[in-house]
Copies of this chain bind each other. A is one copy, B any other.
């Protein structure tokens, strides 16, 4: 029987009512029992600056790094800002990747979901993020891909996924991710 695996979820939008935060919560419910998802907050992380590191890492960095390090796997749920990854999410990635030699991401299996109001579903953010995952040595699930458009009509008032088709796709995504994590997790 597979172990239960903890998944650090990084949400790319900082809005309280963010579609991507809603998606993260919905995915937590759709996931198989072997995955335990928890959002790791990124909104209070000071911008990465090596001088600040040298002077002493801020408490918010230390806490973020610790929470990611403790997880078995990574799930990114993100909008696209200006055809790329939101600065806040990229900053979290930069913070977690440092100091040199102490990245908290390396070797943890990962997956990417991108959500946008328009039709394109955050394609650019999704792939720019994947390029960073190459460097960070995060084996990232290739299929199914998840570019989710039409964000404004995705959720009901309880945060459930309205469309049965979309719910089915996301359920399969999380099942595939569970298998991916099981195959690639360390220990």
Contact = CB atoms under 8 A, between A and B. Distances in A.
Contacts of A89: 87
Nearest to A90: B87
Interface of A: 13-16, 43, 45, 47-52, 81-95, 97, 106, 119-121, 123-124, 127-128, 130-140, 142-143, 145, 147, 149, 183-184
Nearest to A80: B135
A107 to B, nearest CB: 9
Given A94-B82, A119-B149, A47 B88 contact: yes
Which 10 A-B residue pairs are closest in the complex by CB-CB distance?
A87-B91, A87-B90, A14-B49, A137-B143, A47-B88, A82-B132, A83-B135, A119-B119, A123-B123, A87-B94
Contact of A82 (B43, B47, B93, B183): B93
A94 to B, nearest CB: 5
A86 B81 contact: no
Contacts of A48: 14, 81, 86-88
A50 B117 CA distance: 15
B47 A91 contact: yes
Given A87-B87, A91-B87, A82 B135 contact: yes
A135 B128 contact: no
A76 B87 CA distance: 15
A121 B120 CA distance: 8
